[in-house]
Amino acid sequence: MTSGLLFAIVGVLLFTMGGAGVLLLDHLLRRILAFNLMGSGAFLVLVGLAQRHDVADPVPQAMVLTGIVVAVAATALALALARRLHALTGRMELPEADDD
């Protein structure tokens, strides 16, 4: 097993941990963090898989660099929305749907 493949496998684990967190956690801050974990896992899979034969490929690396910056912007927007919700309702959880 090459180190690239190991990175990809860790990325899969991070992705599923984040996915389970998004589904299970109610607190919005934790949910945003879990979503970020999903994103980091996806980046790790992309970069790891591309160099699983131990030769780095610049194209996925550049794509991941773009993705990281977009993820930062999306996180900031999500945090602003969560803060707005907290200012308006005083809660950090989304309201439960009635037909749940």
- Smallest distance from the beta carbon of 76 to other proteins, in angstroms? 4
- Smallest distance from the beta carbon of 41 to other proteins, in angstroms? 10
Query: With respect to other proteins, which residue has the nearer C-beta, 77 or 94?
Result: 77
Residues present in the chain in total: 100
Q: Which residues of this protein are in contact with other proteins, per CB under 8 A?
A: 5, 8-9, 12-13, 15-17, 19-20, 23-24, 49, 52-53, 55, 57-59, 61-63, 65-66, 69-70, 72-74, 76-77, 79-81, 83-84, 87
Q: Specify whether the CB–CB gap between 18 and 83 falls below 8 A.
A: no
Cα 80 from chain centre: 17
- Smallest distance from the beta carbon of 79 to other proteins, in angstroms? 7
- Smallest distance from the beta carbon of 91 to other proteins, in angstroms? 16
Query: With respect to other proteins, which residue has the nearer C-beta, 83 or 91?
Result: 83
Asked whether the CA dihedral 9, 12, 13, 14 is positive or negative, the reply is positive
CA atoms of 50 and 58, how far apart (whole Å) = 9
Torsion of CA 13, 16, 74, 83, to 10 degrees: -120
